[in-house]
């Protein structure tokens, strides 16, 4: 009774062989009866009937649900898809865009947040974030030592600081970032050397005691070409000899996600690079990365926090003047605590949400595309049902088509995202820093993208299923395609209107950002970056003792000033709107007796400048005099202040002249002149008070030379480098235009503009396919009605209004909503992009033009199809 | 309406062909061509077996486990697939024969009654 499940299926070849054998035997039998060879064969064939029919019946009996029918489905689906290239391409592109967006965002999320650091047991490694309101991990060295020695919760606590140094090899000088680590750093992290040995706590022999340097794998690879003989060689760092003692393993790049550590030196050698010894300064939290370590087994996070806070309270009691209250929390080290962690998580979370919305919109579009296609093909489906195809069979066919589209779209999307992620990994957003985003895709990303593609394929294939299940072949063939149900199409329309609104919002936002960016480049911020060059040198790196610096700086200025084409030149310790961090200090009224920070008259941005800087930087002097070379260490302390400073302390520019104010340490300073306001740290900051102190009275180890010249920048860069080499061949220098250096403050605007632009583009594509899908199905469903209208003499314009009017209305409503939302969202944009406002006629016109373009591209084909309806042909068809 | 009757007739034919095949194989293994001729000969050439229909029927019986097949050599030294009755096949033959006899007796009675 039961079929034999386990017996191997008989092959059709075997069956054919049997038929052949039969024909042979039959011919033999006939030959015996005296019929000649060829005739016998023909007779045998005749008696047999149609062998193909027999084979077919055999095939049907054995291949009931075999793989063959799957391949037949695939082949048939491919043929169907190829017959409608417009539909297929639209569907594939839509899905590719959505999958690419999701894969890129997920790739970043995966790399930055989900993937743990490449160190042993990353799950128990925590960074100590000392305070609630300050998200950085800064700590002073004495505090670090106290927490290291007194805590009972961690297996060990390591700290490090980041600093820049000059590496000297013979004639060439280059800048490199040092990670100054405590002796126990590698042991706390559990890192073992690839080559040589790493630093240990036992290596700490007092300040500047151990001149040993550990290379990162990347530095060893790029600089020494994996030469194993480097161990024991000497590297000149800021002209101090350091012995190379080891190389870290390949995967290790430090404990901060974006920052690629290049060289590791002992923290106790820091004074050689910083110029100051701050190991005793309890009030100076100069350690960039305070402390991190593995929790002891069995110690909970809460217990560790309580332990640390108790130590903090003791320190507060012992050193009330230096310490401010501690309130610890434990964070992941990879994103530098909450400082990067919070914005990065928020940013990526928002992006993931947006990507998910894009996928949802794409699925909705694809669903409506497939539904439109199903109603276009209702006749075909009905025919197949009438000819005896099972509904299951027809549905399987539709699913196969959807899956093919899903796989093609998913594949293309994944390919694009892999390329984008690799590009992102290689990207160096700020060339001065060894920063990159290690977001190369891994297996998780591939799995996610393909999973999403297949899932969405199943989803959008499911849309027309009910329609297929309800198809009454007889009714369809007799009466043509019926009306779809109203409710479903209402939902589709709402979804599309929402999509158009989001698209218009994104386009508005990106146009606003681009306009803001353009304004920024041509704006005036109290400096004139055009035609200005920045020469960054660090005399400490070149080994100059502090006493010799002013003389050398003067020589450099004189040398550059003598160069042809140089209009003005000046020095400053840092550049407004450059990438280096800005400095500010509290200032007090002359009469103030209490000079605690809480009593400050202003928190002023501080620049230390040489004479000539104002002219070189293009900052206008409004009153008083410029600084002079005579304002040196021996003369009375003077300063220039900006208008905001003058108004805040003295009431007005005029009132400020000749007045005095004090710094926190009591130094009394006379206002020698007032300069115009400007932006110093970021373009979107509110106006800050600022003071300009003479460099000769306040020596600084780092200095940037601002060179104003109308000469060709490239030629000028070469000439400047040559001139500096003549002065001192061992002086590392970075020459760039001021506009290049402004990439930092422009960074946020640029990122915002490009991210919004990309999202706007995706939104545009999705709206395009959505409108196309709706318009196409609107025309497809109403062909009969349109044909009748045409037959009754409707003009093309009237016909189009009838066919596409609802879609056009949707487009208008969506675009208007998007534009209004964009205007409402301007405040958010204003925080990132300078002077961002959508109330700009150019932006408004741009949005309207973009939406009109999208609409007309999307409706072009459906409109043509509506106009090409031939009533006579339609009558014959139905 | 047409489709339906055709289908029924086909099934009837199939049933009787199956029975004839099983019956023929009771005398020992035969290959397809021999089975066809045996049926024709033993029915006094009344029943004409379409050779093309025979093989799908054989395949069906084999799948149900009523007959077993093996390639062998015919009397005139040709390769051929030989069929043999299985235990299940014998039981089925008894059942089907019984049913068929009842059916044809009933048919005959009805037809006779009508004539008389």
Do A28 and B59 count as a contact with CB atoms less than 8 A apart? no
**Confidence band (pLDDT; 50, 70, 90) for B25?**
very high
Q: Is the pLDDT of residue A65 over 50?
A: no
pLDDT at res. A220: 92
Q: Residue A776 CA to chain centroid, in angstroms?
A: 36
Do A57 and B31 count as a contact with CB atoms less than 8 A apart? no
**Percent residues over pLDDT 70 in chain A:** 89
Q: Quick one: which H or E segment has residue A644?
A: helix A643-650
Query: pLDDT digits over B45-86, tens only?
Result: 777 777 878 888 888 888 888 999 999 888 888 889 999 999
pLDDT at res. B12: 42
Non-local (6+) Cβ contacts of A754 within 8 A are: none
Do A61 and B63 count as a contact with CB atoms less than 8 A apart? yes
Q: Is the pLDDT of residue A2 over 50?
A: no
Do A15 and B37 count as a contact with CB atoms less than 8 A apart? no
Tell me the mean pLDDT in the region A741-750: 70
* Cβ-nearest to B76 among A1, A28, A58: A28
Do B53 and A49 count as a contact with CB atoms less than 8 A apart? yes
Q: Is the pLDDT of residue A460 over 80?
A: no
- The C-alpha angle A95, A99, A102, rounded to 5 degrees, equals 145
Contacts of A42 in chain B (CB under 8 A): none
Interface residue B72 vs chain A (CB under 8 A): no
Q: Residue A717 CA to chain centroid, in angstroms?
A: 32
Contact assessment for residue A597 and residue A628, using Cβ atoms and an 8 Å cutoff:
no
Q: Please give the DSSP secondary-structure letter assigned to residue A154.
A: B
Structure-block tokens of residue B80: 């051929």
Do A3 and B33 count as a contact with CB atoms less than 8 A apart? no
Window B:32-71, CB contacts with A under 8 Å: 32-34, 37, 50-53, 55-56, 59-60, 62-65
Structure-block tokens of residue A675: 């300069």
Contact assessment for residue A481 and residue A732, using Cβ atoms and an 8 Å cutoff:
no
Helix (H, G, I), strand (E, B) or coil at A91: helix
Tell me the mean pLDDT in the region A534-545: 78
Tell me the mean pLDDT in the region A69-87: 82
* Cβ-nearest to A51 among B52, B59, B63: B52
Q: Quick one: which H or E segment has residue A245?
A: strand A240-247
Helices B2-24 & B32-42, crossing angle to 10 degrees? 100
Structure-block tokens of residue A414: 């994944």
How far apart CA A480 and CA A874 sit, in angstroms, is: 11
Q: Quick one: which H or E segment has residue A827?
A: helix A826-830
CA distance A471 to chain B (A): 22
Q: Calculate the alpha carbon distances from A43 to A24, A28, A50 in Å.
A: 11, 11, 13
- End-to-end CA distance of chain A: give it in Å, rounded: 50
Which of A47, A64, A43, A54 lies closest to A18 in space, CA to CA? A54
Nearest residue on chain A to B59, alpha-carbon basis: A58
Average pLDDT of every residue of chain A = 82
Candidate from A199-213, A280-294, A425-439, A767-781 with smallest mean pLDDT: A425-439
State which of A171-175, A197-201, A456-460, A685-689 shows the largest mean pLDDT.
A197-201
Q: Is the pLDDT of residue B6 over 50?
A: no
Nearest residue on chain B to A51, alpha-carbon basis: B52
pLDDT at res. A819: 86
pLDDT at res. A245: 93
Do A22 and B50 count as a contact with CB atoms less than 8 A apart? no
How far apart CA A264 and CA A269 sit, in angstroms, is: 11
Do B33 and A22 count as a contact with CB atoms less than 8 A apart? yes
Q: Is the pLDDT of residue A766 over 50?
A: yes
Q: How many CB atoms lie within 10 A of CB A732?
A: 22
Nearest residue on chain B to A1, alpha-carbon basis: B64
Query: pLDDT digits over A199-222, tens only?
Result: 998 888 888 877 889 999 989 998
Tell me the mean pLDDT in the region A263-270: 91
Contact assessment for residue A185 and residue A160, using Cβ atoms and an 8 Å cutoff:
yes
pLDDT at res. A475: 65
CA distance B28 to chain A (A): 18
State which of A224-238, A434-448, A541-555, A571-585 shows the largest mean pLDDT.
A224-238
**Confidence band (pLDDT; 50, 70, 90) for A484?**
very low
Candidate from A39-53, A307-321, A559-573, A624-638 with smallest mean pLDDT: A39-53
How far apart CA A847 and CA A756 sit, in angstroms, is: 14
Helix (H, G, I), strand (E, B) or coil at A342: helix
Do B37 and A29 count as a contact with CB atoms less than 8 A apart? yes
How far apart CA A144 and CA A285 sit, in angstroms, is: 10
Contacts of B79 in chain A (CB under 8 A): 17, 21
Phi/psi of residue A130, nearest 5 degrees: -70, -30
CA distance A381 to chain B (A): 21
Nearest residue on chain B to A20, alpha-carbon basis: B80
Q: Is the pLDDT of residue A568 over 70?
A: yes
Non-local (6+) Cβ contacts of A49 within 8 A are: B50, B51, B52, B53
Contacts of B55 in chain A (CB under 8 A): 15, 18-19, 22, 54, 58
Strand partners, B37: none
Contact assessment for residue A177 and residue A434, using Cβ atoms and an 8 Å cutoff:
yes
Do A58 and B63 count as a contact with CB atoms less than 8 A apart? no
**Confidence band (pLDDT; 50, 70, 90) for A676?**
very high
Q: Residue A108 CA to chain centroid, in angstroms?
A: 7
pLDDT at res. A26: 86
Q: Is the pLDDT of residue A7 over 60?
A: no
CA distance A878 to chain B (A): 26
Tell me the mean pLDDT in the region A83-111: 87
pLDDT at res. A59: 63
Q: How many CB atoms lie within 10 A of CB B43?
A: 12
Which of A503, A70, A124, A133 lies closest to A299 in space, CA to CA? A124
Q: Is the pLDDT of residue B3 over 50?
A: no
Contacts of B81 in chain A (CB under 8 A): 18, 21
Q: Is the pLDDT of residue A485 over 60?
A: no
Contact assessment for residue B56 and residue A54, using Cβ atoms and an 8 Å cutoff:
yes
Residue burial A818-832, b: 16+ Cβ < 10 Å; e: rest: bbebbbebbeebeeb
CA distance B96 to chain A (A): 14
Whose structure tokens read 């034919």?
B13
pLDDT at res. A738: 82
Q: What's the helix, strand, coil split of chain B in %, to 5?
A: 70, 15, 15
**Percent residues over pLDDT 90 in chain A:** 18
Q: Is the pLDDT of residue A410 over 70?
A: yes
Strands (E), B6-116: 30-31, 67-73, 79-85
**Confidence band (pLDDT; 50, 70, 90) for A170?**
low
Interface residue A250 vs chain B (CB under 8 A): no
Helix ranges restricted to H, A527-612: 549-561
How many residues does this entry show for chain B? 116
Q: Is the pLDDT of residue A5 over 50?
A: no
Long-range own/partner contacts, residues A61-70 (CB < 8 A, 24 or more apart): A61/B56, A61/B59, A61/B60, A61/B63, A62/A9, A62/A10, A62/A12, A62/B59, A70/A400
Interface residue B74 vs chain A (CB under 8 A): yes
Nearest residue on chain A to B74, alpha-carbon basis: A25
Which of A422, A413, A372, A511 lies closest to A862 in space, CA to CA? A372
CA distance A18 to chain B (A): 6
CA distance A377 to chain B (A): 27
Which of A474, A457, A540, A32 lies closest to A240 in space, CA to CA? A540
**Confidence band (pLDDT; 50, 70, 90) for A194?**
very high
Helix (H, G, I), strand (E, B) or coil at A773: helix
* Cβ-nearest to B50 among A22, A49, A62: A49
Do B78 and A53 count as a contact with CB atoms less than 8 A apart? no
Candidate from A76-80, A91-95, A279-283, A518-522 with smallest mean pLDDT: A518-522
Do B51 and A10 count as a contact with CB atoms less than 8 A apart? no
Strand partners, A671: A639
How far apart CA A652 and CA A645 sit, in angstroms, is: 9
Chains A, B: CB pairs < 8 Å = 69
**Environment class of A173 (CB within 10 Å of its CB; exposed 0-12, middle 13-18, buried 19+):** buried
Contacts of A28 in chain B (CB under 8 A): 76, 78
Q: Which residue has the higher pLDDT, A232 or A86?
A: A232
Contacts of B95 in chain A (CB under 8 A): none
pLDDT at res. A260: 84
Structure-block tokens of residue A37: 């060879």
> Which of A17, A44, A48 has the most B C-beta neighbours within 10 Å, making it the best mutation to test the interface with B?
A48
Indicate if ipTM > 0.95: no
Q: Is the pLDDT of residue B2 over 60?
A: no
């Amino acid at each position: 009774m039961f079929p034999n499940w386990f017996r191997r299926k008989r092959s059709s070849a075997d069956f054919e062989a049997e038929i052949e054998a039969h024909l042979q035997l039959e011919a033999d039998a006939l030959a015996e009866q005296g019929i000649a060879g060829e005739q016998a064969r023909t007779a045998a064939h005749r008696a047999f009937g149609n062998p193909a029919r027999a084979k077919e019946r055999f095939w049907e009996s054995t291949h009931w649900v075999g793989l063959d029918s799957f391949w037949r489905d695939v082949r048939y689906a491919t043929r169907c898809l190829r017959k409608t290239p417009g539909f297929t391409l639209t569907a594939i592109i839509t899905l590719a865009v959505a999958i690419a967006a999701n894969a890129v965002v997920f790739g970043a999320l995966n790399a930055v947040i989900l993937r743990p650091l490449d160190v042993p047991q990353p799950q128990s490694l925590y960074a100590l974030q000392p305070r609630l309101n300050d998200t950085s991990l800064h700590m002073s060295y004495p505090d670090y030592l106290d927490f290291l020695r007194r805590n009972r919760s961690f297996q060990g606590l390591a700290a490090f600081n980041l600093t820049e140094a000059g590496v000297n090899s013979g004639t060439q000088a280059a800048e490199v970032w040092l990670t100054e680590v405590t002796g126990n750093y590698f042991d706390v992290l559990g890192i073992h050397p690839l080559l040589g040995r790493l630093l240990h706590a036992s290596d700490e022999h007092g300040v500047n005691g151990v001149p040993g340097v550990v290379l990162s794998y990347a530095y060893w690879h790029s600089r020494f070409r994996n030469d194993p003989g480097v161990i024991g060689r000497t590297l000149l760092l800021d002209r101090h000899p350091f012995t190379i003692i080891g190389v870290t393993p390949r995967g290790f790049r430090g404990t901060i996600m974006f920052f690629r550590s290049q060289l590791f030196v002992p923290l106790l050698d820091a004074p050689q690079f910083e110029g100051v010894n701050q190991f005793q300064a309890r009030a100076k939290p100069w350690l960039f990365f305070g402390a991190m370590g593995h929790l002891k087994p069995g110690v909970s996070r809460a217990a560790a926090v309580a332990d640390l806070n108790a130590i903090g309270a003791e320190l507060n009691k012992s050193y009330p003047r230096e310490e401010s209250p501690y309130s610890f929390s434990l964070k992941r080290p990879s994103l530098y605590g909450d400082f990067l962690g919070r914005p990065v998580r928020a940013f990526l979370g928002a992006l993931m949400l947006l990507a998910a919305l894009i996928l949802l919109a794409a699925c909705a579009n694809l669903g409506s595309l497939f539904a439109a296609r199903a109603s276009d093909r209702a006749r075909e489906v009905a025919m197949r049902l009438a000819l005896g195809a099972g509904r299951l069979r027809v549905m399987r066919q539709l699913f196969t088509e959807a899956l093919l589209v899903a796989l093609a779209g998913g594949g293309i999307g994944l390919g694009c995202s892999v390329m984008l992620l690799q590009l992102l990994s290689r990207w160096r957003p700020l060339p001065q820093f060894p920063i990159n985003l290690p977001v190369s895709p891994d297996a998780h990303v591939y799995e996610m993208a393909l999973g999403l593609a297949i899932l969405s394929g199943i989803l959008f294939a499911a849309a027309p299923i009910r329609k297929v299940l309800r198809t009454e072949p007889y009714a369809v063939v007799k009466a043509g395609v019926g009306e779809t149900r109203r409710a479903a199409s209402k939902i589709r329309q709402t979804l599309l209107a929402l999509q158009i609104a989001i698209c218009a919002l994104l386009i508005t936002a990106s146009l606003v950002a681009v306009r803001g960016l353009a304004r920024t480049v041509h704006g005036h911020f109290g400096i004139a970056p055009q035609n200005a060059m920045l020469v960054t040198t660090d005399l400490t790196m070149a080994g100059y003792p502090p006493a010799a610096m002013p003389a050398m700086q003067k020589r450099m200025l004189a040398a550059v000033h003598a160069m042809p084409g140089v209009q003005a030149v000046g020095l400053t310790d840092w550049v407004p709107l450059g990438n280096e961090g800005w400095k500010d200090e509290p200032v007090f009224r002359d009469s103030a007796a209490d000079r605690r920070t809480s009593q400050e008259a202003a928190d002023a941005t501080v620049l230390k400048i040489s004479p000539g800087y104002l002219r070189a930087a293009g900052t206008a002097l409004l009153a008083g005099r410029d600084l002079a070379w005579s304002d040196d260490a021996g003369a009375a302390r003077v300063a220039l202040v900006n208008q905001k400073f003058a108004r805040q302390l003295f009431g007005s520019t005029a009132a400020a002249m000749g007045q005095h104010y004090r710094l926190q340490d009591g130094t009394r300073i006379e206002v020698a002149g007032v300069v115009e306001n400007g932006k110093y740290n970021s373009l979107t900051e509110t106006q800050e008070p600022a003071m300009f102190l003479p460099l000769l009275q306040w020596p600084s180890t780092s200095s940037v030379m601002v060179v104003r010249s109308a000469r060709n920048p490239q030629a000028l860069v070469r000439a400047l480098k040559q001139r500096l080499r003549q002065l001192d061949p061992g002086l590392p220098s970075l020459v760039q235009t001021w506009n290049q250096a402004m990439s930092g403050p422009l960074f946020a605007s640029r990122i915002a503009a490009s991210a919004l632009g990309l999202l706007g583009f995706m939104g545009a594509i999705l709206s395009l396919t959505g409108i196309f899908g709706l318009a196409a199905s609107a025309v497809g469903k109403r062909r009969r009605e349109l044909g009748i209208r045409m037959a009754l003499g409707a003009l093309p314009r009237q016909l189009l209004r009838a066919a596409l009017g609802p879609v056009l209305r949707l487009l208008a409503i969506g675009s208007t909503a998007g534009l209004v939302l964009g205007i409402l969202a301007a405040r958010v944009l204003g925080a990132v992009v300078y002077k961002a406002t959508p109330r700009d006629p150019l932006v408004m016109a741009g949005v309207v033009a973009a939406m009109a373009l999208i609409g007309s591209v999307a409706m072009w084909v459906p409109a043509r199809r509506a106009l090409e309806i031939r009533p006579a042909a339609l009558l014959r068809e139905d | 309406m047409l489709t339906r009757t055709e289908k029924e007739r086909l099934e009837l034919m199939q049933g009787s062909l199956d029975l004839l095949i099983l019956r023929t194989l009771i005398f020992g293994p035969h290959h397809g061509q021999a089975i066809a001729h045996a049926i024709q000969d033993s029915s006094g050439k009344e029943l004409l077996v379409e050779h093309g229909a025979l093989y799908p029927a054989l395949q069906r019986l084999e799948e149900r486990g009523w007959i077993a097949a093996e390639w062998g050599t015919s009397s005139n030294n040709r390769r051929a697939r030989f069929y043999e009755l299985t235990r299940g096949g014998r039981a089925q033959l008894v059942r089907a024969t019984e049913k068929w006899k009842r059916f044809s007796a009933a048919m005959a009675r009805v037809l006779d009654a009508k004539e008389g």
